[in-house]
Amino acid sequence: MSEHDSTDRTITSLPLSSEREVEWTHVLVVVEGASAGERFVLGRELSIGRDPTCDVRLVDRSVSRLHCRVSLAEQRALVTDNGSTNGTFVDGVRVQDSTVLKPGALLQIGDHLLRHDVCTTAEAAREVELAQDLRKAREYVAALIPAPLARADVRIEWAFQPCAALGGDLLGYHWIDDARLALYVLDVCGHGAGPAMHSASVFNALRGQTLPHTDFAAPAQVLSALNQHFAMERHGGMYLTMWYGVLEPRTRRLSFASAGHPPALLLEGARSTRLATKSPPIGVSEGRRFTQAQAEIRAGARLWVLSDGVFEFTSSDESVFSLDEFERGLLETPRSSPSDVQRALQGRAKRGVFEDDFSMLTVSMGP
Amino acid sequence: MNLRVLEAPPTQVHVALDGRLDTAGVDAIEVKFNAAVVARRKDAVVDLSALEFLSSMGVRMLLLAAKALERTGQRMVLVARGPVISTALQHSAIDELIPVAQDLDQARAILAGGRP
């Protein structure tokens, strides 16, 4: 046999994948509930409950402090209820004492639903890493939002909650000069890291006022410039909706423009006025010209700028909440803060979960 | 969420959607929708009359399909009746990009009117 033959020989001694020793890992994945998307590797035992000391802490009023525990012995997972008030359920059946949790089984604890997954240790590590990356991205996005503003002449508050899959919402405000404030809520369509990164790019262009030849005090110009710079063909097919306003606190005058975005609501006494200019989303229609409109925010009035995640969610009774209902609710409780409204709506949402990012910014004027 | 492919002239595709076109609805039918509407490279009538709800993710699915058809020289016309879907289309201003008809006859008339 020649030297060439010996090196070119087909190797047949590699172990087949089924013969390799595979290490399995058991994971609890939160598939529904306020902590949806989180993953917990099951070592020997995981304690689950509302208490901060629990390995799996579920912020959910229907969950007991030390609700239940899941233990693993010889590749078999066992759920034990700790005498919880509302019970622990496996595939819909209440756990009396302890029950085996088979791979793929669903564990219901309060408004949370967790799935028992078994995967290779390498897969589990990758999934945990991905979940951590998503959490970091969520934290980065939230950190971009400026602190609330509390001045005698103008007050800005907000509520922001990214959904489990991380959407493309962002909200903010900045001073254009000493006299004028820019206010904005934007929503890149889609979920995941891509839309979140796109949203951060647009946000930074606004906050840094880096769009060339653009007067940031002219809302229609800002939307036109964004439309030119963020065309979906050049940005992975992503587009965004947006509401952008410029407020001069001294005169209380507001100029605004919107693109494919829900109207802002200007609440004054028992009346709500919807503020929007009808234009398609940013990035979908090259060369599009945008228009703007004016309003006045009088003393005692309050402007609510929001994303569609605030009212597009499924209620506990399976009906879909709507902008009309949201508007009615605001008129009934005009003094509520954005955080109050967020809590109230979360209480109405099915399993306490918003299906999309929740973004809401309010502006009220001093006397 | 359901998608039905209905009878149409040889140069057109006609599909009807019913249910909730939200994130879960889009996940359930997007591949089927693109196969039925975009891949056929024909003018398309998409009937939304039986939709109960149209979210921004649903709007996105329609918009991306309309843009894909546009790139190959075809058009999409939506059929929408009722306040819920019409309001969603108006809020997103998608009706400025995709023609919206009141019924099938009007949709076919829009398509017969040629390309703008």
Report the pLDDT value the prediction gives residue A121, as an integer from 0 to 100: 87
CB A110 within 8 A of CB A62: yes
**Contact at CB, A189 and B22, closer than 8 angstroms:** no
What's the pLDDT score for residue A141? 87
CB contact under 8 A, B23 and A356: yes
- How much is the pLDDT for A18? 52
Structure tokens, B54: 């149209």
Give me the sheet containing A68-73, strands edge to edge.
A56-57, A45-49, A68-73, A76-81, A98-101
Dist CA B52 CA A169 (whole Å) = 25
Nearest-by-Cβ selection for A189 from B52, B56, B93:
B56
Q: What is the pLDDT of residue A17?
A: 52
Instruction: Give the per-residue pLDDT at A2.
Output: 44
| Chain B residues whose beta carbon lies within 8 Å of the beta carbon of residue A314 | 22
Give the ranges where A208-322 is alpha helix by DSSP (H): 219-229
CB-CB contact of A235 with B62 (8 Å): no
Alpha carbons B79 and A121: distance in angstroms, whole number:
50
A interface test, pick of B1, B54, B69, B92 with most A CB neighbours within 10 Å: B92
Whether chain B has a CB inside 8 Å of the CB on A237: the answer is yes
Q: How crowded is the C-beta side of A256, counted as CA atoms within 13 Å?
A: 31
Task: Give the neighbor-by-neighbor strand order of the sheet with B76-79.
Answer: B2-6, B12-21, B43-54, B76-79, B100-101
- Residue B114's pLDDT is what? 55
Nearest Cβ partner of B93 from A190, A280, A356?
A280
Using CA coordinates, name the residue in chain B closest to A233: B67
Chain B contact set for A280 (CB, 8 A): 92-94, 96-97
CB contact under 8 Å between B97 and A285, yes or no, is yes
pLDDT < 50 stretches in chain B: 115-116
Q: Which of B53, B59, B97 sits opposite A320 (nearest CB)?
A: B53
Domains of chain B by start residue, with CATH: 2-111 (3.30.750.24)
Q: A206 vs chain B: nearest CA distance in angstroms?
A: 22
Of B78, B28, B22, B26, the closest CA to residue B53 belongs to: B22
* pLDDT of the residue at A14: 47
A223 touches chain B (CB under 8 A): no
**Is the Cβ–Cβ distance between A244 and A282 less than 8 Å?**
no
Cβ contacts of B56 on chain A, cutoff 8 Å: 187, 189, 241, 308, 312, 356
CA distance B7 to chain A (A): 31
Nearest chain A residue to B92, by CA = A260
* CB pair distance less than 8 Å for B94 and A260: yes
A169 touches chain B (CB under 8 A): no
Q: Determine the pLDDT at residue A19.
A: 52
* Beta bridge pairs of residue B21: B54
A25 touches chain B (CB under 8 A): no
Q: Cα–Cα distance between A67 and A110 in angstroms, integer? A: 9
- Residue B34, Cβ neighbours under 10 Å: how many? 15
How many angstroms separate the CA atoms of A218 and A183, rounded? 12
Test B96 with A312 for CB contact under 8 angstroms.
no
Residue A13: predicted pLDDT: 47
Give the pLDDT score at A39.
87
CA distance A258 to A245: 9
Cβ-nearest to B96 among A237, A263, A280: A280
Task: Determine which of A308, A322, A357 to mutate to test the interface with B (most B C-beta atoms within 10 Å).
Answer: A308
Could you list the beta-strand ranges (E) of A98-210: 98-101, 106-109, 112-120, 149-150, 154-161, 168-175, 181-188
CA separation, residue A285 to residues A40, A152, A232, A240 (Å) = 44, 41, 9, 12
Give residue for tokens 């919107």: A258
- Could you tell me the mean pLDDT of each successive run of 10 residues in chain A, 367 residues long? 47 50 87 79 94 92 94 92 95 92 93 91 85 82 93 95 82 96 94 88 95 96 96 90 97 97 95 95 92 96 94 85 92 91 87 83 92
Question: Which of A190, A279, A280 minimises the CB distance to B60?
Answer: A190
Positive or negative: CA dihedral B104, B94, B23, A227: positive
How much is the pLDDT for A52?
A: 93
Q: Which alpha helices (DSSP H) does A305-363 contain, by range?
A: 323-332, 338-348
What count of other Cβ atoms lies within 10 Å of the Cβ of residue A57? 16
Q: Report pLDDT for A12.
A: 46
Residues of chain A contacting B54 with CB distance shorter than 8 Å: none
CB contact under 8 A, A280 and B94: yes
β-strands A45-49, A56-57: how paired?
parallel
Q: Give the per-residue pLDDT at A6.
A: 45
